[in-house]
Amino acid sequence: MAKKYFSLIIVPHNRGKFKTITLSEKKVKIIITVLTLVFSTLTVFLIDYFSMNVTRQKYRELFDENSRQKQAITKYKVSLNKLKTNVDEFETYAKKINIMAGLKSPEVLKEVGVGGGDRGSGQELGSSSYSQDAGLNHAERISRKADGIDKNLDTLVRFFENQTAKLASTPAIWPTTGWLTSAFGSRIDPFTGKKAFHYGIDIASSFGNS
């Protein structure tokens, strides 16, 4: 069986001689196969190259975003620490005022420390294991404690307002010499015989100017 050949004729633009390249069918197949492999390899390489570029770009974006989030979390931790310190100081201050005011009932003192001893706060805000859920729980505990302090301060305000009203209506000195027959507060009205509030004090004394 005769072999097949392929001829490639090269024609120059100037008046040169024609060049003829003769290749057997086997060589042509080998050349086509090699070119196909080279083209396929180059195509795969280019696709992988562009894919890696896209991946690297996304990685840089994620890295930058992660850095920004870390900075935001750090600021959040610092702010939460400052808030906790302020709330603890207010709690101590409110307890001192309660003691100074003489409000020692369990109900009143309980209002000061709503939220307890900050149970579960042994995990430091600056630790690496500090998660978003832990931060939210910590903020909720601080919020509950602040609400308790606010209620206690309202109780103190009402107490001091009542004390101020009593002091304003209570004489600082005795207007005369004698003995107290009816004190300031609730009593049985001597005229009606019914319970009524007495806005003064009755002092029994001798008749005269002194």
pLDDT above 60: residue 206 = yes
Written as six digits, the tokens of 91 are: 């709690």
pLDDT above 60: residue 57 = yes
pLDDT tier at 122, thresholds 50, 70, 90:
very low
- Say how many domains are in the chain: 1
Looking at residue 116, its pLDDT comes to: 45
pLDDT above 90: residue 42 = yes
**103 to 93, 97, 185: CA distances (angstroms):** 14, 9, 21
Q: Which long-range contacts (CB under 8 A, 24 or more apart) does 151-154 make?
A: 151/111, 151/114, 152/94, 152/98, 152/108, 152/111, 152/112, 153/94
The one-letter amino acid at 117? G
Mean of per-residue pLDDT scores for the chain? 77
Averaged pLDDT for residues 145-157: 81
Work out the percent of the chain whose per-residue pLDDT is above 90: 14
Supply the DSSP string of 3-30, one letter for each residue: PPEEEEEE--SSS---EEEEEEHHHHHH
Distance in angstroms (rounded) separating the CA atoms of residues 146 and 144: 5
- The answer to whether position 184 is within a domain reads no
- The answer to whether position 123 is within a domain reads yes
pLDDT tier at 124, thresholds 50, 70, 90:
very low
- The answer to whether position 116 is within a domain reads yes
pLDDT above 60: residue 23 = yes
pTM value? 0.39
Which segment, 51-65, 67-81, 125-139, is predicted with the most confidence on average? 51-65
pLDDT above 60: residue 1 = no
- The answer to whether position 199 is within a domain reads no
- The answer to whether position 3 is within a domain reads no
- The answer to whether position 121 is within a domain reads yes
Given a contact cutoff of 8 angstroms between Cβ atoms, the answer to whether 173 and 144 are in contact is no
